[in-house]
Amino acid sequence: MDNMTLIAVASIVTSGITIGFGCMGPALGEGRAVSTALTSLAQQPDASATITRTLFVGLAMIESTAIYCFVVSMILIFANPFWNHAIAQAAGK
């Protein structure tokens, strides 16, 4: 197996792991946040505006983690920084 194939395989596997854990964690976090918010709304209906506003800010923060993992995954697949190094080494031989 040459260096280019090794880099491609490592990039694809790392990208898959990144997007897998990067979606699983925020999904569980969002579910727990919504569950806790609904419990809070049931106990304190007068504070619904504050709870809802805080919930949406928290959900946006949680979702940004999944988006960052997606961006890293796309960089590994389409704009891999290791390709240039491997191509430079191949040209130098």
Query: In this structure, what CATH number is given to the domain that contains residue 27?
Result: 1.20.20.10
Average pLDDT taken over every residue of the chain: 90
- Domain assignment present for residue 16? The answer is yes
Res. 40 pLDDT band, cuts 50 70 90 = very high
Whether 81 has a pLDDT exceeding 70, the answer reads yes
**How many helices (H) and strands (E) would you count in the chain?**
3, 0
- Domain assignment present for residue 89? The answer is no
Number of domains the chain contains: 1
3-state DSSP: the chain helix, strand, coil percent, rounded to 5?
A: 95, 0, 5
Q: pTM for the complete prediction?
A: 0.75
The boundaries of the domain holding residue 69 are 3-82
**pLDDT at position 93, please?**
66
